[in-house]
Structure formats: C-alpha cells, structure tokens
Amino acid sequence: MKTKQYEAMIRNNIPKGYPNLVCGWPDPEHGIHWDAYRSDCMSLVDAMQPDDDAPVFKPFKEWCESERDKIPDRNDLGFYTKRCCLCQSFPGDRFAVTAFDDSMEDYDTLAVCNDCLIYIANGETPNYVSD
C-alpha cells in the first residue's frame, strides 16, 4: 500500500464532522467527571459519624488529577474483538483516540491499532506502507 492510499483510507474512516484526531480519550470517558466528583464528596459526608468534623474536599481539578493517577494505562484499551476504527485491521490490541469536531468540544471515541496510534501521534506510517 502506498502512503497516499493509507492516508486516504484513514481520512475515509474518520467520523464525518470530527476531523481532529488526538491520542487518548477525554476524562469523562474514564469516569472522571463532575458527577463522579460530587458522588465522591457525598460519600465522604455519608461516612461521617456523629461529632465528626466536616470532611475536607479536594478541589475538582486536583481530584481529577488523582483519579487519572489511579489509572495510568487508561488509554491502552487491551484486546478488542472489533476491527480498528481507522484501518479496519483485524481484532487485536487497541488504543484510545478521540475524534473532535472543529470546536474541539464535541467528540467521538475511537479504538485504534498500534500502527494507527503511531500515525496519529507522529505521522509515521506502518511498515506495510511505502512510496
């Protein structure tokens, strides 16, 4: 396969309206969001015993960081039984990639193979691609 063919194939499989690919999934896809933070805070309040002082809550940003630290490999999705979202390669190990719209606010999540992840990260095409 030629580089131009590979690039056209990737472009063709990117969800329509979401042309901006970024490695990893946003925090909410990993359960790191405002509602989870609130729930975490409420569980600290619920655990209070009579005469306990009020719990000290981490600021939201700090809480997000500590949650991220709990799952350092969160963007390594492991074995997937579906084909790569971008090159349609056979089932195998998949990695998280996000396709954002031009506002960079709305997005779609993708599970891609290692070759496609490297292409998104640094533009390097897979070994089977040549000019």
- When binding is defined by CB under 5 A, the residue of 116, 120, 125, 129 that contacts Zn ion is 116
End-to-end C-alpha distance for the chain, whole angstroms = 8
- When binding is defined by CB under 5 A, the residue of 10, 97, 113, 129 that contacts Zn ion is 113
In the complex, minimum distance from the CB of residue 23 to Zn ion, in angstroms, rounded to a whole number = 13
Sole window of 25-33, 34-42, 48-56, 116-124 interacting with Zn ion (rule: CB under 5 A): 116-124
Own/partner contacts of 112-116, CB < 8 Å, gap of 24 or more, are 112/84, 112/85, 112/86, 112/87, 113/84, 113/86, 113/87, 113/89, 115/84, 115/87, 115/89, 116/10, 116/84, 116/85, 116/86, 116/87
Between 32 and 99, whose beta carbon lies closer to Zn ion?
A: 99
- Work out the number of other CB atoms within 10 angstroms of the CB of residue 12: 8
Q: For residues 21 and 38, give the distance between their C-alpha atoms in angstroms, rounded to a whole number.
A: 30
21 interacts with Zn ion by CB under 5 A: no
Sole window of 53-61, 69-77, 90-98, 115-123 interacting with Zn ion (rule: CB under 5 A): 115-123
Between 38 and 82, whose beta carbon lies closer to Zn ion?
A: 82
10 interacts with Zn ion by CB under 5 A: no
- Binders of Zn ion among residues 50 to 109 (CB under 5 A) are 84, 86-87, 89
120 interacts with Zn ion by CB under 5 A: no
